Amino acid sequence: MFTKVLVANRGEIAVRIIRACKELGVDTVAVYSEGDADALHARLADEAVCIGPALSAESYLKVTHLISAAEVSGCEAIHPGYGFLAENAAFARMVSESGLVFIGPTPDNINKMGNKSLAKVTMRAAGVSVIPGSKKDLTGLPEARKLAAEYGYPVLVKAAAGGGGKGMRLAHDEKELETGYKMAKAESKAAFGDDRLYLEKYIERPRHIEIQIMADNYGKTVHLGERECSIQRRHQKLIEESPSPAVNEALRKKMGAAAVSAAKTIGYRGAGTVEFLLDPKGDFFFMEMNTRIQVEHPVTEMVSGYDLLKEQIKVAAGSKLSIRRDVNKPNGHSIECRINAEDPDRDFMPTPGKISFLHLPGGPGIRVDSHIFAGYVVPQYYDSLIAKIISHGRTRGEAIDRMRRGLEEFYIEGVKTTIPFHLKVLADPEFIAGNLHTGFIPEMAERLKAKK
Ligand code: MV4
């Protein structure tokens, strides 16, 4: 095992990584920006190094600062967390070329999945069902028109370098395709410096179902079941759960096998997530793969019994996976609500500022992953996630009841949060019935308006 690990992140995930290292007997070095001088992760780690000003571009994204911090403090490995440099193949390569271990997949793994259009080519060749669409990057608008006519409208134009909805345009007819194509091209050029596009048949009212996989260096690759992440707002997930109300054991085995073969095809190592769309008929299609630990990993931990961070670190250190077989039978049900410092009454505008009072929920079946405390000032510079409440129960109903109680006993003053919004979702009859799909939030808004 490593003796010392550099935690190249901030917020709740930095705290989560430090906790896993403590249990493994590994010392930690935190990095922090000038905007995070009082942050919890810098206090909980054994050592802390300031790596620059508050702006991420001058601190958490500075490859040279991170590698120097690891070298001067005598670390053997770097954990990137999620976001920032977690899916940057050049960073992963520089870490290993500096004689350090990148706790994550290989640079080649990251590259193969980073281009979403190329990832689909690889998956199709491996026999994984992918969303019907262009077989490679589009050559131009004429080809887009031809393919759209072939598959039938509506279609989606997506950025090859994208993911998570950036540079994506929906078209219901040829006219919309023309403007959508041009806008997607300009947007992805500006956002990624890469204007390659691909086209897909638009799947109506799908669920977003993702499969957690883990792989070691000894040829072992397993899946840990699914997470349902259909409840999103502007491509930001707000609530995730495992298992999905729409997935039975037979479907879990099929989707799990597809995810494992996706990972094996590229010689994947470490923790990863294979995203699928599940259509109302029950057919599923590969969408993209995320080559990192994800925000919503705790719901999988609660129903599988495994600590994904510890597994990730052990695998990177050269140990075998402790998970010996696929997790096809989840233990109970788990739900995660993301508590953001945002005002749901003002279009989810960020609400940075000082937390003047705080009481975090607890009790049976409630876990809180967070870095906040009374007196903490939520900085304006980073994403607005301040806590994750994760409930666990024997049934989905019990997980919902516990989550509602947890949200109600979360007392926070000084910043507005997404807690009232979560309570509305938990009271929604369609949510309670498990009727989830990617249009859930706009449709819930309509239901609430009709009730008034
Ligand atoms: C789709 C789709 C329907 N059909 N692709 C949104 C984010 C990005 N990862 C892909 N997304 C979608 N791709 C096809 N061919 C619908 C979405 C989508 C969506 C997906 C998951 C969760 C929420 C969503 C909200 C709107 C659209």
* Distance in angstroms (rounded) separating the CA atoms of residues 66 and 29: 11
Cis peptide bond upstream of 243, omega within 30: yes
Q: What is the mean pLDDT of residues 253-275?
A: 98
| 304 plus 192 within the same structural domain | no
Residues with CB under 6 A from ligand 1: 131, 156, 163-165, 200-203, 206, 208, 230, 232, 235, 277, 287, 438
Which candidate, 76, 67, 33, places its Cα nearest to that of 51?
Answer: 33
- So what's the pLDDT on residue 199? 97
Range of the domain at 341: 207-451
How would residue 165 be classed by pLDDT, with cut points 50, 70 and 90? confident
Distance CA 372, CA 350 (A): 16
Give distance in angstroms: CA of 202 to centre of ligand 1: 8
What pLDDT is attached to residue 89?
Answer: 98
pLDDT at 162: 85
Rg over alpha carbons for the chain, rounded to the nearest Å, is 22
Backbone angles phi, psi at 97, to 5 degrees: -70, -20
Measured CA to CA, the distance from residue 431 to residue 240 in angstroms comes to 12
Instruction: Kindly provide the b/e burial profile for residues 396-426, where b requires at least 16 CB atoms within 10 angstroms of the residue's own CB.
Output: bebbbebbbbbbeebebebbbbbbebbeebb
**What is the arithmetic mean of pLDDT over 120-125?**
94
Which of 208, 275, 278, 286 for mutating ligand 1's site (highest number of atoms within 8 Å of CB)?
208
Residue 435's beta-bridge partner residues?
Answer: none
**What's residue 163's pLDDT?**
76
Per DSSP, 333 falls in state E
416-439 average pLDDT score:
98
Domain C-terminal end among 143, 168, 201: 201
Could you tell me if residue 121 is inside a domain?
no
Flag whether 109 is in a domain: no
Q: What percent of the chain has pLDDT over 70?
A: 100
The model's pLDDT over 63-101, given as tens digits with 9 standing for 90+, comes to: 999 999 999 999 999 999 999 999 999 999 999 999 999
**pLDDT for the residue numbered 243:** 99
Mean pLDDT of 263-283: 98
Among positive and negative, which fits the CA dihedral 330, 335, 340, 344?
A: positive
Give 7's strand partners: 30, 79
Distance 230 CA to ligand 1 centre (A): 9
**pLDDT tens-digit readout, 286-297:** 999 999 999 999
Asked whether residue 19 is assigned to any structural domain, the reply reads yes
Residues contacting residue 1 through CB under 8 Å, at least 6 positions apart: 24, 25, 26, 314, 317, 319
Instruction: Choose among 223, 213, 225, 198: nearest CA to 140.
Output: 198
For tokens 């193949």, name the residue: 89
Is 124 part of a structural domain of the chain? no
Which pLDDT score is estimated for 390?
99
pLDDT computed for residue 234 by the predictor: 93
Asked if the structure places residue 137 within a domain, the reply is: yes
Lookup: tokens for 166: 């950036």
How far does CA 323 lie from the centroid of its chain?
21
CATH no. for residue 99?
3.40.50.20
Q: Are residues 163 and 230 in the same domain?
A: no
227 bridge partner residues: 210
Inform me whether the pLDDT recorded for 48 exceeds 80: yes
Residues 165 and 308 in one domain: no
This prediction has a pTM of 0.97
- Tens-place pLDDT, residues 19-39: 999 999 999 999 999 999 999
Residues 196 and 223 in one domain: no
Q: Tell me 35's DSSP state.
A: G
Are residue 91 and residue 186 in the same domain, yes or no?
Answer: no
Ligand 1: atom nearest CA of 229 is 22
Does residue 172 share a domain with residue 69?
no
Distance CA 342, CA 201 (A): 34
Q: Are both 195 and 232 inside the same structural domain? A: no
* Residue 162 and residue 38 in one domain: no
CATH code for the domain of 179 = 3.30.1490.20
Best of 168, 236, 279 for a ligand 1 pocket test (most atoms within 8 Å of beta carbon) = 168
Distances (CA, A) of 12 to 22, 387, 388: 15, 7, 8
CA distances from 410 to 171, 340, 357, 391, 407 (A): 42, 13, 11, 13, 5
- The pLDDT score that the predictor gives to residue 166 is 82
Model confidence over 295-336: pLDDT tens digits?
A: 999 999 999 999 999 999 999 999 999 999 999 999 999 999
Write the residue with the smallest CA distance to atom 19 of ligand 1. 438
Average the pLDDT over 373-391 and give the result. Answer: 98
Judge if 173 and 227 occupy the same domain. Answer: no
**Residue 31 falls inside a structural domain:** yes
Res. 146: pLDDT tops 90: yes
CA 114 to CA 377: how far, in whole Å? 35
Cβ distance 215 to 104 under 8 Å? no
Task: Please name the amino acid found at residue 444.
Answer: M
State the closest ligand 1 atom to the C-alpha of 201, by its place in the atom list counted from 1. 15
Average pLDDT, the chain: 97
Amino acid at 394: R
How many domains does the chain contain in total?
Answer: 3
Confidence of residue 167 (pLDDT cuts 50, 70, 90): confident
CATH of the domain at 346: 3.30.470.20
Tell me, in angstroms, the distance from the centre of ligand 1 to residue 165's CA. Answer: 7
Pick the closest to residue 83 from 378, 285, 384 (CA basis).
384
Residue-level pLDDT at 286: 97
pLDDT given for residue 452 in this prediction: 77
Q: Residue 439: is its pLDDT beyond 90?
A: yes
| Domain edge (last residue) among 154, 184, 201 | 201
Note if 405 is an active site residue.
no
Give the end of a domain, one of 179, 201, 223. Answer: 201
Listed in sequence order, the residues at least 6 apart from 436 whose beta carbon sits closer than 8 Å to its beta carbon are 207, 228, 230, 231, 245, 246, 430
Angstrom CA distances, 111 to 93, 106, 135, 176, 241, stand at 11, 9, 18, 32, 29
Cβ(208)–Cβ(228) below 8 Å: yes
Q: What is the DSSP string of 388-438?
A: EEEEEESSHHHHHHHHHHHHHT-EEESS--SHHHHHHHHH-HHHHTT---T
ω before 364 within 30° of 0 (cis)?
Answer: no
Cα separation of 91 and 360, whole Å?
Answer: 36
Mean pLDDT of the region 405-425? 98
Across the chain, how many H-helices and E-strands are there? 15, 22
The DSSP secondary-structure symbol of 202 reads P
Do residue 275 and residue 152 come from a single domain? no
Verify that 97 and 184 share a domain, yes or no: no
155 falls within a domain: yes
Structure tokens given for 22: 């403590």
Same domain, 169 and 260: no
Q: Does the residue 272 lie in any domain?
A: yes
